[in-house]
Chain A
Amino acid sequence: MHKTAAITWIVLLVLTLASALFSKLESKYVILVILILAALKFLGIVFQFMEMKKAHVFWKVLIIGFLVLFVIALLIMV
Chain B
Amino acid sequence: MGLEVIPNKLQNNRLNSFGIMHTQEIDHKNIYYPPGGILIWIIIFLELITFGATLVVMVYYGNQESELFHDSSLKLNATYGMVNTMLLLTSGFFMAISVTELKRGNKETFKKLLLFAMLFGCFFLCLKGFEYYEKINEGISIGYNTFFSFYWMLTLFHVIHVIVGLVILTSVYFGMKKENSNTVIEDVEASAAFWHMCDLIWIILFPIIYLLF
Q: Does B29 contact A (CB under 8 A)?
A: yes
Number of A-B contacts (CB under 8 A): 119
Beyond A1-B100, A5-B96, A20-B82, whether A46 also contacts B200 by CB under 8 A is yes
Q: Which chain A residues border B206 with CB–CB below 8 Å?
A: 16, 38
For the complex, give the distance between the alpha carbons of A66 and B204 in Å: 12
Q: In the complex, are the beta carbons of A59 and B199 less than 8 A apart?
A: no
Q: Which of B29, B55, B86, B90 is close to A74, meaning CB atoms less than 8 Å apart?
A: B55
Residues of A1-60 whose CB lies within 8 A of B: 1-2, 5-6, 8-9, 12-13, 16-17, 19-20, 23, 31, 34-35, 37-38, 41-42, 45-46, 48-52, 54-56, 58-59
Q: In the complex, are the beta carbons of B56 and A70 less than 8 A apart?
A: yes
Q: In the complex, are the beta carbons of A73 and B56 less than 8 A apart?
A: yes
Distance between A50 CB and nearest chain B CB, rounded to angstroms: 5
Residues of B82-100 whose CB lies within 8 A of A: 82, 85-86, 89-90, 92-93, 95-97, 99-100
Beyond A20-B211, A42-B204, A45-B199, whether A51 also contacts B31 by CB under 8 A is no
For the complex, give the distance between the alpha carbons of A55 and B44 in Å: 15
Q: Which chain B residues border A16 with CB–CB below 8 Å?
A: 82, 85-86, 89, 206
Q: In the complex, are the beta carbons of B207 and A59 less than 8 A apart?
A: no
Q: In the complex, are the beta carbons of A19 and B207 less than 8 A apart?
A: yes
Q: Which chain B residues border A42 with CB–CB below 8 Å?
A: 200, 203-204
19 pairs of residues in contact across A and B, judged by CB atoms under 8 Å? A1-B97, A1-B100, A9-B89, A13-B90, A16-B82, A20-B78, A38-B204, A41-B203, A49-B96, A50-B35, A51-B99, A55-B28, A55-B29, A55-B35, A56-B31, A66-B45, A77-B56, A77-B63, A78-B62
Residues of B within 8 A of A (CB): 28-31, 34-36, 41, 45, 48-49, 52, 55-56, 59-60, 62-63, 78-79, 81-82, 85-86, 89-90, 92-93, 95-97, 99-100, 192-193, 196, 199-200, 203-204, 206-208, 210-212
A5-B100, A9-B92, A70-B204 provided; 5 other pairs, C-beta below 8 A?
A: A2-B100, A13-B89, A35-B207, A51-B99, A56-B28
